[in-house]
Amino acid sequence: MVRDTTVLLDERRIFEPSEEIKKRANVKDWEAEIEKGKNVEKYWAEKAEQFEWFKKWDQVVDESNKPFYKWFVGGKINLTYNAVDRWIKTEKRNQVAILYINERGEEEKITYYELFVQVNKLANALKNLGVKKGDTVSTYMPMCPELLIALLACIKIGAVHSVIYSGLSVGAFVERINDAKAKVLFTADGTYRRGKIIDLKPIADEAILQCPTVETIIVVNHTGTPIEISELSGREIFYDRLLDGEPSYCEPEQMDAEDPLFLLYTSGSTGKPKGVMHTTAGYMVGAATTLRDVFDIHSDDLWWCTGDIGWITGHSYVLYGPLLLGTTTVVYEGAPDYPDPGVWWKIVEKYGVTKFYTAPTAIRHLMRFGTRYTNLYNLDSLRILGTVGEPINPEAWMWYYKNVGKERCPIMDTWWQTETGMHLISPLPVAPLKPGSATRALPGIEADVVDEDGNPVPEGKGGYLVIKKPWPGMFRTLYKDEQRYKDAYWNEFPGCIYKAGDMVRQDEDGYFWIQGRSDDVLKIAGHRIGSAEVESAFVGHPAVAEAAVIGKSDPIKGEVIKAFIIVKEGYELKTQLIEDLKKHVRYELGPVAVLGEIVQVDKLPKTRSGKIMRRILRAQEMGEDLGDTSTLEE
């Protein structure tokens, strides 16, 4: 949904960093760093020096076969070795790597050494199960330490992981596992959410019947719910039992810089999710560098990103970025408002969180409670705040700035995507901030605004956001779909530049104001979901003949789904059917697909070739001009 933020804010109000922030900052001069980043190869090569390589690269970036860019060509490296093994040789050995906390107030602290032992044991166990370099392992897990350990173990032996968000349901699960041809699945009994245990295993049990490639299912007994391991299936094993007797060292696989690291499925404008593929070295460099520079990570920091590992934010900034920097990462399982809306602030006070990163939707939700909960706890430990996932409205920015950051903490509004792997547009802590703007492209990144033909647009005018040079954390392809990779991202504009899929405007200072998606992708509470996926879920219901879905704006979630339904003969859209449809869509896609409104229609606006024109429905919804209707059928 394209939202015009311009009318809402006072762009001239600029928030300058405090002296304290400037004094501590790793990067002291924003302009100079951006200038340095203009020499892309040199800039990223220097950043790559932070790791231990088995073999250094021969070439920083290979652009000979655009858009199939390669980074750190010829280099050999292992991510897990750099995120875990490397630290146990240092004073970080007994430092907490993972601080797991849940809504029940339980905690578990895992030091780098303990993490090392567990990852190695599991890596050996996976090898014994026949998992080899290049095999795919999927997970359908809550936010718990075993999930992080599983992913690190995969990477240690060169297996490619594919995480399925635990909020997705059967339909989405089956599609993702089968596309990736996963050999092993990690799952758990359930997850804690608002005082209840949400079962995951029954969903996995049902879905897995349709997933023939999965040979082994590893089950974590996370909430202590008694689990029935089906004797008949013969493919289930308990996680705990798996580790018994395994040696506590496993040699890291020497991965080529460009070997696949993980797949992460995300939504595009067609019904089929995209298998975004990231590779090894470039992703490591991108995730670690951006975390250190954007959030100014030092050895005394306590880092908390509230994102779920089921999304890219969790991959890059709960798991890999923090551990590659040797910092402590908080892993939180639960909702932001349970047992009460002060739970996050209570955690900040109790543990002394210094850097806090969350989504605008969570801020808007907590903002409803005013200052009651933010004043109940001491938030003095906080130094830098961040947001991600959707545009932040200036009101929410101001609330966050005043009440959480107490007007001391700069807010890093980070723009990026599953595909980009790392922040691309974001301030650094020393940058002057304007509420609602992600400011400028990071050093080493070149972003621009273009019109439909790919020509640069004048200052202040909206257009398509593009990235003009490759960056290390970029995805390398869509799994088994090179054509879609080229068509969806690189072929739209001349010169092989990356089309992000967002509308944006640049102001007189070169600051970017992201306005929303330019395609049929919805952002519901920061979660990405395609209109076409929701439509195909609707059409899978026996009462539905046709469906069209658009985003409807929502004060907390940003957007929710508005569905236009043509029902089959003999059906009527009454309360019972609406309830059934809600249940059905939830079953197919999970609770991420939040239905705001379902309306019955006789016809849908279509092109002569039969494509639904969602643009018309959106314009109608917003009471706007319908625009060019020459391709409309009637």
One-letter amino acid for residue 610 of the chain: G
* Residue 558: how many other CB atoms lie within 10 Å: 26
Nearest-approach distance from CB 285 to ligand WTA, in angstroms: 18
Tell me: does residue 388 bind ligand WTA (CB under 6 A). yes
- Of the candidates 184, 514, 525, 532, which one interacts with ligand WTA according to CB under 6 A? 514
Tell me: does residue 449 bind ligand WTA (CB under 6 A). no
Select the span of 111-119, 137-145, 310-318, 553-561 touching ligand WTA (CB under 6 A): 310-318
Length of the chain: 634
One-letter amino acid for residue 593 of the chain: A
Q: Which residues, at least 6 apart from 548, have a Cβ–Cβ distance to it below 8 Å? A: 531, 535, 563, 564, 604, 612, 614, 617
Distance CA 147, CA 214 (A): 18
- Of the candidates 443, 462, 501, 558, which one interacts with ligand WTA according to CB under 6 A? 501
Site for ligand WTA in 236-295 (CB under 6 A): 266
Tell me: does residue 416 bind ligand WTA (CB under 6 A). yes
DSSP output for 216-231? EEEEE--S----PPPT
Give 126 or 500: the residue with its C-beta nearer to ligand WTA.
500
The residue behind tokens 């969790």 is 314
Select the span of 79-87, 254-262, 415-423, 587-595 touching ligand WTA (CB under 6 A): 415-423
Tell me: does residue 502 bind ligand WTA (CB under 6 A). yes
| Four-point Cα dihedral 420, 426, 429, 433, nearest 10 | -170
Cα atoms in the 13 Å half-sphere on the side-chain side of 531:
24
Burial of 467 (0-12, 13-18, 19+ CB in 10 A): buried
Alpha-helix residue ranges (DSSP H) falling in 49-97? 79-83
Give 78 or 313: the residue with its C-beta nearer to ligand WTA.
313
Closest CA to 489 of 509, 470, 504: 470
Select the span of 61-69, 124-132, 296-304, 307-315 touching ligand WTA (CB under 6 A): 307-315
Tell me: does residue 414 bind ligand WTA (CB under 6 A). yes
What x-and-dash track marks residues 562-591 binding ligand WTA by CB under 6 A?
------------------------------
CB 6 within 8 A of CB 393: no
Tell me: does residue 312 bind ligand WTA (CB under 6 A). yes
Select the span of 146-154, 388-396, 403-411, 542-550 touching ligand WTA (CB under 6 A): 388-396
CA end-to-end distance (rounded Å), the chain: 25
The residue behind tokens 């932040």 is 392
Give 131 or 500: the residue with its C-beta nearer to ligand WTA.
500
Q: Strand 498-506 to strand 512-517: parallel, antiparallel, or no bridges (unpaired)? A: antiparallel
Tell me: does residue 506 bind ligand WTA (CB under 6 A). no
Distance CA 537, CA 326 (A): 43
What x-and-dash track marks residues 389-408 binding ligand WTA by CB under 6 A?
xxx-----------------
Give 118 or 414: the residue with its C-beta nearer to ligand WTA.
414
Tell me: does residue 517 bind ligand WTA (CB under 6 A). yes
- Of the candidates 141, 180, 396, 438, which one interacts with ligand WTA according to CB under 6 A? 438
Residues that bind ligand WTA (CB under 6 A): 266, 311-313, 388-391, 413-418, 438, 500-502, 514, 517, 523, 528
